[in-house]
Chains A and B, each alone.
Chain A
């Protein structure tokens, strides 16, 4: 067992998948000798060769499009988009082809592709490097969307994503890439793709979040606990499909719900969760549902990014609003 960071968990899962399955192929920009701009593929080309760990021309639409053609041939493609702001040219291929191939051919052709990309801000990166665009994918049937929040979950969920017979969008929280280390065994064990994780149990309020904000949310829960307020913290992990059952179970005993996400509020995933809880468990609720989110502004340049990303204080404020009255 090794103490590793989240990005090392990604690297370990990729190495394990390449070693276990000769059909696994990695494609992306600078993922070869450079090992990826975040080092997620460090050392893998050296070990598995430049066909299985392949630098592509600098074109995100091509990366997604060639992945469709490769996957339909039975390869299991893990494609890296270097930064989330650069994914838009790839969206055509992901939405119009990758997500639909199984359905439109009635299962004759499939696209077992994992599209990995960094997610979220907070690392002082240039513009277009810090987006949180998960809803672009959650809206498309045929895709799964996953966002890990620890080294162990990055390892286990990425292995699950690679083994899944359908396309999976794998969002890696940049802020957590090197934030903390954790013991993770390279045991090849996958985690379930469609389950939320309860990070902390509590009876007073349910806080649902994912990705990097699990970190701030757990800190907020610690501070609230000192006042005797016990928050149940749920890491959604699977953003599509959403594990509504885990959320509804939690709300049934807390009666309060706060949703925390870094993406903009308008038409964000929080709205989907809130609508589902309101539709299925309105009478369990003791207070209006709160959302603590990024603002409906453009993700600012990094000088103001900390003002945009929900903070521990804003999460606590959101929880307190559900406890009033």
Chain B
């Protein structure tokens, strides 16, 4: 027998855990102002996460999905995208969304069980959070098909988790993107765990990046804790897609340092040792060390940033808590452009009975 097909998966890492560059860095990485902007966003995500978890623990927020540990992946992806690209998130990629203009208040509003949060700021065509796992991936392929039909140089970016790649919807979307050379980048955030199931139990494949190969889509792995590596790999994939070169699967290797959500307790299923090891290679210290090596960061700037972020987060929380909560009619008002007459009776009933009370 002869070999009729072969593949290889490249691994990219530009900034090691100690913050030292591993080879030549792309242009943006030597732009201190741009790197500071990315670092500031990563820290904002980390600080917001802590605040949101506190709000949930004190009964002021519903179940919340934290992002701690993923900041380099999320911010790297956001920084690589253009405004006219379209994002298809899962539900914890706040760094990408904040970069694109979604607000902290809107994120809190969503997790408070209020649809108003889904009508968020930022690029109006970006998709909302997607809870049914993997089902957002075909949406990105569909948007990419629209770009292709209309001859637009835009790109769709779909997030999916390591667990999400087990869904048929993921394969179906990748397969379409390969068959039709669609301008879409599939970002697999391999954070080690799908709630309690380790990524090793999701697949027998050596990498998640190679899950694109069978669909005719090349895959690449990147250190998802390396914001320079993530942005660099994403920029290349986006540029290729916009130029008609087709889709890419990017596997970002990171770690979910938090519980899956505030309703989860990860100590039930993973070891303290594993978590401890993951904290040693987390994204923030290496980014800061790199900024310091550029002469662009120091303790004074760090302290000032923390004070500023605290102010921004507290303001967002206040706006969230003081927002006008949707009335019961909101359930009915957005179902149809032309609502069926029969709904009016139920709407009247809902209005008559009011918002109800939690027990």
Interfacial residues, chain A to chain B (CB-CB below 8 A): 25, 51-52, 56-57, 59, 61-62, 64-75, 89, 92-93, 96-97, 102-110, 141-142, 144, 164-166, 194, 240-242, 244
Contacts and interface: CB of A to CB of B under 8 A. Distances in A.
Given A69-B144, A104-B128, 9 more contacts: A59-B175, A70-B143, A72-B127, A72-B142, A109-B128, A141-B335, A166-B337, A241-B340, A241-B342
Contacts of B343: 241
A97 B135 contact: yes
A263 to B, nearest CB: 21
B176 A110 contact: no
A103 B156 contact: no
A194 B115 contact: no
Contact of A62 (B132, B146, B169): B169
A166 B338 CA distance: 8
A75 B116 CA distance: 25
A51 B152 CA distance: 14
Contacts of A52: 149
Residue picked from A102, A109, A142, most chain B C-beta under 10 Å: A109
B138 A241 contact: no
Given A65-B139, A73-B146, A97-B139, A107 B334 contact: yes
B264 interface: no
B292 interface: no
8 contacts: A61-B138, A65-B169, A102-B336, A103-B334, A104-B128, A106-B115, A106-B116, A106-B334
A108 to B, nearest CB: 5
Interface stretch (B117-125, B198-206, B310-318): B117-125
Contacts of B179: 57
A105 B173 CA distance: 23
Contacts of A92: 132, 135, 169
B209 interface: no
B143 A69 contact: yes
A66 B141 contact: yes
Contacts of A110: 337
Nearest to A71: B142
Interface of B: 86, 88, 115-116, 118-120, 124-125, 127-128, 132, 135, 137-149, 156, 168-169, 172-173, 175-176, 179, 330, 334-338, 340-343
Nearest to A59: B172
The 5 closest A-B pairs by CB, nearest first: A69-B142, A65-B138, A241-B340, A66-B142, A73-B146
- Main SS of the interface on chain B? helix
B156 A69 contact: yes
A56 B113 CA distance: 36
Contact of A65 (B135, B144, B156): B135
B169 A96 contact: no
Contact of B149 (A51, A62, A142): A51
Contacts of B125: 72-73, 109
Contacts of B119: 105-108
A195 to B, nearest CB: 11
A279 to B, nearest CB: 11
B335 A69 contact: no
Contact of B176 (A62, A75, A165): A62
Contacts of B149: 25, 51-52, 70, 75
Contacts of A64: 138
Nearest to A62: B172
